Structure 1
Amino acid sequence: MSDIAILTAPVFSTLANAAFAVRREVFVWEQKVPQEEELDHYDLTAIHYVAISEGDVVGTLRLIDMPEHTKIGRVAVRQAWRGRGIARKLIEKAMADKRASGKNRFYLTAQSDKLALYEKLGFVAFGPEFIDGGMPHRAMRDYDKATATLLD
């Protein structure tokens, strides 16, 4: 496998357009999430990251600064590139960058079948399972772990 480069992508850049294309491929075409739910107003202010390999954008995620934490979202890796640790590398880089700027509380909503990935990165699930984009999800955070309770 070639090296993976993780870069930030300004929202109105060619890299961001490639990130949005990956998201469309994964969420809209593959997972059947309605297009109007996949893109939202947060995309204009989020920090977008891309994973690049062999000259192509193969993965992406976004960070949204919120008062109580930084929300990690829209983690997507092209199907042919899965299983190579790309999502983990994206998340680790994004979290490291935020920690360097003094932010150290992270939150996300994970598809329920992807919980193990985020647990390996120090997240714990809490609250009830809910449907988002037609798929079951769980809220997860990497802080206040002792009070994280699952509800079913």
Structure 2
Amino acid sequence: MNNITYEFINYKSKEFKEVSELRFKILFKPYNKIHKYDYDELDYSSIHLVGLDKGAVVAYSRMTNYNMNSKMTNIVVSEKYVGKGIGIEMLKRHKIKAKEFGVICLYLNARLDTINFYKKAGFQCKGNIFISEKSGLALQPMYFKIN
């Protein structure tokens, strides 16, 4: 989508309240495991990226532990914007940022219904599927080597 802009933000920015709402709506509310989700311990030390449509947050992702191996978490795109290349674009931008920090590998835990999306973005499955303690969902560990 041509009208989407992407910005790296701080967890103290005005957009972060919208980020919290979007994360809860997509990652937790449908599964009835958590009734409220605002911040977690990783928000304070992560690199946050938002996709904005006319200033409104429509996508979000974060990179944590930005050392040699960095984890991608909370990757979400608002339902109305799914399938428009926003998630792929956000991952591309995180890969560039990761390279700037000297990261050699990005990893994540994908919901089973998102594995093909991450494969399109260059991630590969690694290890066994496990059940998340936080969400109760089955997750597949995946990784991407930075060139």
Answer yes or no: same fold by TM over 0.5: yes
Q: Is the 8 A contact 2:126 2:141 kept in 1?
A: yes
* 8 A Cα contact 1:16 1:48, kept in partner: no
Instruction: For 1:3-152, list aligned pairs within 5 A.
Output: 3-35=3-35, 39-65=39-65, 67-132=67-132, 133-143=135-145
* Larger displacement relative to structure 2 (1-10 or 113-122): 1-10
The answer on whether the counterparts of 2:24 and 2:37 sit within 8 Å (CA) in structure 1 is: no
In structure 2, the partner of 1:149 is none
TM-score by length of 1: 0.84
Q: Is the 8 A contact 1:48 1:63 kept in 2?
A: yes
Q: Matched residues, percent identical?
A: 22
Q: Check 1:45–1:69 CA distance in 2 against 1; reply closer, same or farther (3 A cut).
A: same
Aligned CA distance change for structure 1 residues 36 and 44 (closer, same or farther; 3 Å): farther
Write the deviation string for residues 31-79 of structure 1: whole angstroms up to 9, x where unpaired: 4341567842111111111000132110001110255401011001111
Q: Secondary structure at the match of 2:15?
A: helix
For residue 127 of structure 1, give the secondary structure of its aligned residue in structure 2. coil
Distance of 1:38 and 1:127 partners within structure 2 = 30
Which range moves more in the overlay, 75-84 or 97-106? 97-106
User: What SS does the aligned partner of 1:128 have?
Assistant: coil
Unaligned runs of 5+ in 2: none
Q: Normalising to structure 2: TM-score of the pair? A: 0.87
CA distance in 1, matches of 2:50, 2:109: 19
Q: Secondary structure at the match of 1:14?
A: coil
What SS does structure 1 have at the residue aligned with 2:103?
coil
Helix, strand or coil: the match of 1:90? helix
Larger fraction in helix? 1
**2-structure distance, mates of 1:67, 1:54:** 33
Alpha-carbon distance in structure 2 between the residues aligned to 1:19 and 1:59: 8
Cα distance change, pair 128–36 in 1 and its aligned pair in 2 (3 A): farther
SS of the residue 1:34 aligns to: coil
Amino acid at match of 1:139: P
Change (3 A) 1:123 1:80: same
